[in-house]
Amino acid sequence: MKIRPYQIEDEQGWVRCRVLSFLDTAYFDNVLKEKEIYENPAMELVAEEEGQIVGLIDIEYEIKERTVCSRGTGLGGMIWHIAVHPDFRREGIGTKLLNEAERIAKNKGLNRLEAWTRDDEWVNKWYVKNGFTKVESYLHVYIDGGNDLKETIKSEMPNLFPVQAFAHYVGEDVELVKKKFNRVHECVCYEKMLE
Cα gap 105→37, rounded to integer Å: 19
pLDDT of residue 144: 87
Residue ranges and CATH numbers for the domains of the chain are 2-116 (3.40.630.30)
- Asked whether the predicted pLDDT for residue 22 surpasses 90, the reply is yes
β-bridge mates for residue 144, sequence order: 164
How far, CA to CA in Å, does 191 sit from each of 39, 52, 90, 128? 21, 30, 23, 10
> Per-residue pLDDT tens for 122-143?
999 999 999 999 999 999 999 9
**What is the percentage of the chain residues whose pLDDT exceeds 70?**
100
- Asked whether the predicted pLDDT for residue 89 surpasses 90, the reply is yes
Q: Supply φ then ψ for residue 164, to 5 degrees.
A: -150, 155
> Per-residue pLDDT tens for 145-178?
777 788 888 889 999 989 899 999 999 999 999 9
54, 39 contact by CB (below 8 A): no
Residue 3 burial (10 A CB sphere; 0-12, 13-18, 19+): middle
- Asked whether the predicted pLDDT for residue 65 surpasses 80, the reply is yes
β-bridge mates for residue 134, sequence order: 190
> Per-residue pLDDT tens for 99-116?
999 999 999 999 999 999
Q: What predicted TM-score, i.e. pTM, was given to this entire model?
A: 0.93
pLDDT of residue 195: 81
Q: Supply φ then ψ for residue 121, to 5 degrees.
A: -55, -45
pLDDT of residue 154: 85
Give buried/exposed letters for 73-109 (b at 16+ CB in 10 A, else e).
Answer: eebbbbbbbbbbbeebeeeebbebbbebbbebbeeee
